Amino acid sequence: MTSKLIIFYSSRAAQGIGESIALRLASEGISVGIFDLRNQETLLHDLVKKTEGFGDVKVISIIEDVSIEEDVKSAIEKVVEVLGDLDIMVANADIALLSSIINITNEEWKCI
């Protein structure tokens, strides 16, 4: 059986820790589903190309926002449709706010 991986992201999906996780697991023969925000499409596309370099590994990339429940449900359904049942899930969503807690806005707080 080939293992499948689904990675959830809210920002910076196709770089840093997320990229390292996806590449390492793909190198082990694990198929990968990668989620990211629309403004990260180019980086996501580049990561898909790198991941596909590991041969028989299936890769699916999906533009979505993990802060929107419907996006998450839809993305999971798409990954299962392409890769089959999931064996592994890595939740790797993050956000960086460069502001004092005193000055944080309600919108910024909702993103945390």
- Rounded distance between C-alpha atoms, residue 31 and residue 29, angstroms: 6
Q: Output the pLDDT for position 60.
A: 87
Q: What is the pLDDT of residues 53-87, one digit of tens each?
A: 888 888 888 888 777 889 888 988 888 888 888 88
**How many residues are present in the chain?**
112
Using one digit for the tens of pLDDT, what is the confidence trace for 19-53? 888 888 888 888 888 888 777 788 888 998 998 88
Residues 6+ apart with CB under 8 A from 49: none
List, in order of start, the domains of the chain with CATH numbers.
4-111 (3.40.50.720)
Is the whole model's pTM more than 0.75, yes or no?
no
Please give the pLDDT value at position 1: 47
Burial class (CB in 10 A: 0-12, 13-18, 19+), 3: middle
